[in-house]
Structure 1
Amino acid sequence: MQKIAVLTSGGDAPGMNAAIRAVVRRGISYGMEVYGIYHGYAGLMEGQIEPMNVGSVGDIIQRGGTILHSSRSEKFKTEEGQQEAIAQLKAKEIEGLVVIGGDGSFRGAQNLADKGFPTIGIPGTIDNDIPGTEVTLGFDTAVNTVIEAIDKIRDTATSHERIFVVEVMGRHCGDIALWAGLSGGAESILIPEVDFDMKEVTYRLLEGNKRGKKHSIIIVAEGVCPAAEIAQMIKEEAGLETRVTVLGHVQRGGSPTAFDRMLGSRLGAKAVDLLREGQTGKMVGIQRNRIAVVDFADVFSGKHSIDLDMYELGKSLSI
């Protein structure tokens, strides 16, 4: 294999640039030509494919987001769109593709692999919701961003003796809320995977008040319900005033942590190795801190599960 390409798709995640850098430089170290595809699958269908060299990925390992930009494409989900994409790759004589993204991006990669085009996936999503890998690219940075925000919010919560409800990302997966809530000392953590009892939440707040505690932090994943609704429930149930903070897309940005830079570098290099070995239709991930290679079929049939022991630990430590 002499020519390969790399693209990023779906939501951006810190560490994607580290992975791009690793793909490009690992490929060049093998004597390959490496191309960058801009704006995800939409850019691929439009032929936004440019050659990359060592300098193209210089000074990017510390940058958040993705230098290749990203997008979502409905057209690529069609047979016509996929054939257009393959035609663009073949026109450049590209023989293999690395896709960095989440579940939707992987399904697009699998479609290409099923049509005979060698494709390898790297899990890049802050939600940490991809089966087959214990951690996804960008998750660690997102959690640290949330913890930094919690620490600052707690300062003002203490000063004004208030309850703050902080909404974090996670429609179907509560990993960000769980990890950040436990690490940030939140009094309650509400996640989509576990039904919550508002009476228990308010009871903990009222019991804290009896002990003289005047401030609390409640972390809620967006998939549970809007933070404003939780705040209203607390007011109705316990008569307590709250303030709401929705962190939103700030969780996606920022310089990646050392962990995400290392993870992107490891996974990017391994993806190139797999293409060079003739493998396709697979994801590179992490299991027990070692690189694991997982078939896309196993990724799609698997189910990400929350660590309930961590959830119970968070409840026991926030008394």
Structure 2
Amino acid sequence: MLEKMQKIGVLTSGGDAPGMNAAIRAVVRSCSFYNIECIGIYRGYQGLIEGEFEVLTARSVRNVINKGGTFLKSARSQEFRTKEGRAKAATHLKKEGVDALIVIGGDGTFTGAIYLEQEHGIPVVGIPGTIDNDINGTDYTIGYDTALNTVVDAIDKIRDTASSHDRLFLVEVMGRDAGDIALNAGVGAGAEEILIPEENMGVEKMMESLEKSRKSGKTSSIIVVAEGEKSGKNIFELADYIGQNLEGYDIRVSVLGHIQRGGAPSCYDRVLASKLGVGAVEALLRGENRVMVGITHKVVTTVDFETAISGTRPLDKELRRVLNITTV
């Protein structure tokens, strides 16, 4: 495989995550190290369909390791969901002479890569880039650590206001299907309660906890809510319910939103992205295909795409236990 590999393409797809640029940089520099031409593909799968290619060199990725977002940009592509769209994409890759493709993103990105390989025989390797940390086969995804630090910093600031005005704040964080950000940031910021999609705490149990806190003399509290948690139709409805059924709290809602995606990546995310970028190129050189490169117990490993995107990651029950103890 090493002798045949001459061109490798790289793209970012789905939601951006801090550290994607560091991953691209590692892919490009690894290609340079192994005397392989690297082709950058702009705007994800949509750019693949439209042939938005550019040769990337070590000079192309200078001063990007510290930048948030992705300089290759990302885009949702409805056309790539069709066989016709994927056929266009494959035609552009073959015309450019690209031997294999590295995709950086989450489960939707990997699903697209599976179809591209199945239908057109293009070798693909994935790098997990998503702040949700909801991919199997890796302990951490690129962007997760930075997002956690962003959320903890925001909650620390919100707590100052909550304490000053005797307020109860409901803070919504990202996580439609996974509560990793909510659970870890909530523990890290000392939240009184954490609501996550993986388990239904129940409104009544939360109300009992808040009532207990109020009777103990606590005049301000922080509840962290993952966006996919459905105790109410939305966080504002949940706030209204608490206000109607619990006296003694001045309630406010803060939705952190896309601030969690932005900003310079943490040192951990830069190092992780660098490891996985090198690992992705070397996986292709070993002849691996349709796999994701991940990190397990500090070791770079590979797992097939189907495993990576199957089901949900198990909840960190030990962390939930820690929360229950430290909020007594």
For Structure 1 versus Structure 2, the TM-score category normalised by the shorter chain is over 0.9
TM-score, normalised to structure 2, is 0.95
Q: Deviations over 1:208-254 (max 9, x none)?
A: 22222211000000111422122112112212320000000000001
With 112-121 and 295-304 compared, the bigger mean Cα shift is at: 295-304
Alignment of 1:238-317 (within 5 A): 238-239=246-247, 240-317=249-326
Alignment of 1:48-197 (within 5 A): 48-114=52-118, 115-197=120-202
Q: Partners of 1:90 and 1:312 in 2: how far apart? A: 53
With 261-270 and 223-232 compared, the bigger mean Cα shift is at: 223-232
Q: Deviations over 1:35-94 (max 9, x none)?
A: 100000000110000001111100000111000000111111111111111110111111
Q: Deviations over 1:286-316 (max 9, x none)?
A: 1112111001122233532211221222122
- Aligned partner of residue 132 in structure 1, secondary structure: coil
- Measured on the aligned residues, the alpha-carbon RMSD in Å equals 1.1
Counterpart code for 1:39: R
Q: Partners of 2:311 and 2:65 in 1: how far apart? A: 31
Tell me by how many angstroms 1:266 deviates.
Answer: 0.3
With 290-299 and 196-205 compared, the bigger mean Cα shift is at: 196-205
What is the identity percentage for the equivalent residue pairs of Structure 1 and Structure 2?
52
Q: Deviations over 1:94-137 (max 9, x none)?
A: 11110000001001111122231111000111111111112111
With 5-14 and 111-120 compared, the bigger mean Cα shift is at: 111-120
TM-score, normalised to structure 1, is 0.97
Residues 167 and 245 in structure 1, CA contact (< 8 A), matched pair in contact too: yes
Residues 166 and 250 in structure 2, CA contact (< 8 A), matched pair in contact too: no
Q: Partners of 2:16 and 2:59 in 1: how far apart? A: 22
Q: Deviations over 1:6-53 (max 9, x none)?
A: 000000000100000000001001111111000000001100000011
With 220-229 and 253-262 compared, the bigger mean Cα shift is at: 220-229
Residues 7 and 40 in structure 1, CA contact (< 8 A), matched pair in contact too: yes
Residues 178 and 312 in structure 2, CA contact (< 8 A), matched pair in contact too: no
Residues 126 and 139 in structure 1, CA contact (< 8 A), matched pair in contact too: yes
Residues 13 and 124 in structure 1, CA contact (< 8 A), matched pair in contact too: yes
Structure 2 residue 17 is the aligned partner of structure 1 residue 13? yes
| 2:215 pairs with one of 198, 207, 210 | 210
With 178-187 and 81-90 compared, the bigger mean Cα shift is at: 81-90
Counterpart code for 1:146: V
Q: Deviations over 1:233-289 (max 9, x none)?
A: 211221232000000000000110111000100000010001122221000011112
Counterpart code for 2:243: K
